[in-house]
Chains A and B, each alone.
Chain A
Amino acid sequence: MPALKIPTPLRPYAGGESTLLLPGEDVAEVLEAAVKSYPELKKHLYNDDGQLRPFVNVFLGEENINQLDGLDTTLEENDTLLIIPSIAGG
């Protein structure tokens, strides 16, 4: 199963886990499986319109999925996804 690495700020909403093993053939399915297992994650990953929040980025290895096929990026059995926040302020 693909692995999903959770950044420290989101671990309290993912049962304290740093890595989740989740079923899914593409990025969208893995993220859906994550919020199904840990519903509290949902509001931190998605906005009210069901879109990923602007500061939530997903990497497959070292590649941003935006440079691949986005949420439709297909995954292999041993792939590792990382949720990486971008940080802004003023």
Chain B
Amino acid sequence: MKIHIPQQIMNEIHAHGEESYPEEGAGLMLGRLEQGERWIESTLFLENAREEGARHNRYLITAEDMLQGEMEAEKRGLSIIGIFHSHPDHPNLPSEFDREYAIPWYSYLITSVNSGKAASSRSWRLEDDRERFLEEQIEIVDIKVK
């Protein structure tokens, strides 16, 4: 399992995590599948739709935002490959809450943001039986994106 992410996009995801701190930031990763590997080409930064007091450790992307994401992806000839979100002052491991609400297939990229500074990201996929996440390898690629 491998996900290819342009350095520029990873930088943008980290910057979004820092801007959202001390709350969780989230958004969608759009891209393509090629021979079973995932290539991210674009992102959509979204509002964390959780109520104000919960946004430090919870995030929500509404169905309406997902619909917009699907339409935008289709317009660009891409698919929603996964979701990114930040863990303020916590490791970039999926929480039990992440597992309960995750959907198999999607890539879940989690960025640890410590004291307002993005530290590192890891990517995860939920197994079909929903029992656990498996880590997928992130390959940073040097590709210019629009």
Contacts and interface: CB of A to CB of B under 8 A. Distances in A.
Interface in A37-90: 44, 55, 57, 59, 62, 64, 82, 84-90
Contacts of A84: 63, 66-67, 70
A90 B98 contact: yes
25 contacts: A8-B105, A12-B105, A55-B101, A55-B103, A57-B63, A57-B66, A59-B67, A62-B67, A82-B67, A84-B63, A84-B66, A84-B67, A84-B70, A86-B60, A86-B61, A86-B66, A87-B26, A87-B60, A87-B106, A89-B26, A89-B58, A89-B94, A89-B102, A90-B24, A90-B59
A82 to B, nearest CB: 7
Contacts of A90: 24, 57-59, 95, 97-98
Interface string A1-37: 0000001111010000000000000000000000000
A86 B63 contact: yes
B61 A64 contact: no
B74 to A, nearest CB: 10
Contacts, number: 69
B108 A89 contact: yes
A86 B62 contact: yes
A86 B28 CA distance: 12
Nearest to A64: B63
